[in-house]
Structure formats: C-alpha cells, structure tokens
Amino acid sequence: MRDNGPMEGCEQYSHATDPSRYAVLHDAADQLLDELTDRFMVERREAKKPLAEGPLVRTVRLIPRSPAAAPLSIAFTEFPSLMMRFGRWYDLSLPQCGCDACDEDPVELIGEMRTQIEALAEGGLWERVHRSVGGSVAQARLIGEEFEASQEIVLSLAESRAARREGFAAAVQWAPWVRRP
C-alpha cells in the first residue's frame, strides 16, 4: 500500500491539534468489518503485519471465499486513521491529511468509507495494467451507486510482470462478494 496517510503532503498547515477526533473511524471500521463478515462469505484475518510503513495498530483483511471477488484490507494506524486497500491497487486513506487546515469531518469520512466498501462488495472494482511511454501503469476504477473514482500508479518492472502473469493485462472486473444464506 502506498503510504499517503495523515499529515503527509499537506503543504498549507501540517499541525493536527486534536487527532483523537478521528478515533471514531476505528470504531466505525470495526463495526463495518463485523457487518461485512456477517453479510458475506468472507474469511477475516487479523494481524499486526503492516500494509505500509508507519505506526500501525493492526491490519484486518477480508478475503472473499470466491477467488473472483476482490479482497479488502484495512490498516488501523496510531494517528488514528485508516489505510485501506481494495483488490490489488485501489487505496483509500481516511483522513487523507488530518491537519487542522484540511479539517476533514469524521462523520463524512465514515460515510465515504461505507460508500466505497459497499461498491467493492457489489463488484464495482475494475483493475488493469497497461503500458505507457514511461513504463507500465496500474489503473483501478471503483464504481458504486452515485460514486465513481479512479487511480493510477506506475509499476516497477517486477510488479508489471507479476501483474501480467496474474491476468491483469486485460481489464479485470472483480466479482461481487457472495452473500451468506
């Protein structure tokens, strides 16, 4: 996971007076993970193994029983914030910055988390690798009800080869998660 977590890259004002206001993100993520585990056929794995560099509390992975469905990983950081990975390349950090100037609303961030994870579970994630002048680029697109986002990252030669071996040269639409009976 690319480390684009709290307070990184905020050039205006990098001071966070009360980062504890984001602690509700941890509670909301735990509640959502419980709901998803109850609703869908997924395996839940918890570990202290980090998804990225930085002070992490723990990482939770939901791995759908269907290999055609995209996995979800959520890293809980000490800030407190969340760093999420959907499928292979789609990343989401909440808050994106966390500083006083950005003043991200925790309630809105919880809504954003729920919206994007619901889009993932419904099969709205597309990923592919394509070649460009500067090398290979991984593209990820997440589409949900009244929501659409896309991301691109440049891959190393080894990452590009691995992705192509795993079938990402053509666009891959991850399947919806299978609901529990």
- CB contact at 8 A, 76 and 29: yes
> Mean pLDDT throughout 77-106?
86
Poorest-confidence range of 46-55, 114-123, 158-167? 46-55
98: alpha, beta or left? (left if phi > 0; alpha if psi -120 to 50): left
When pLDDT is averaged across residues 126-152 and rounded to a whole number, the result is 91
Segments making up each domain of the chain, as ranges: 19-121, 125-173
For residue 6, the model assigns a pLDDT of: 42
How far CA 167 is from CA of 121, 136, 140, 144, in Å, comes to: 21, 14, 14, 24
- pLDDT band of residue 54 (cuts 50, 70, 90) is low
pTM, to two decimals = 0.84
Q: Which residues have CB under 8 Å from 79's CB, separation 6+?
A: 5, 6, 7, 16, 19, 22, 55, 98
pLDDT at 11 over 60: no
pLDDT of residue 53: 59
Mean pLDDT score, 164-171: 84
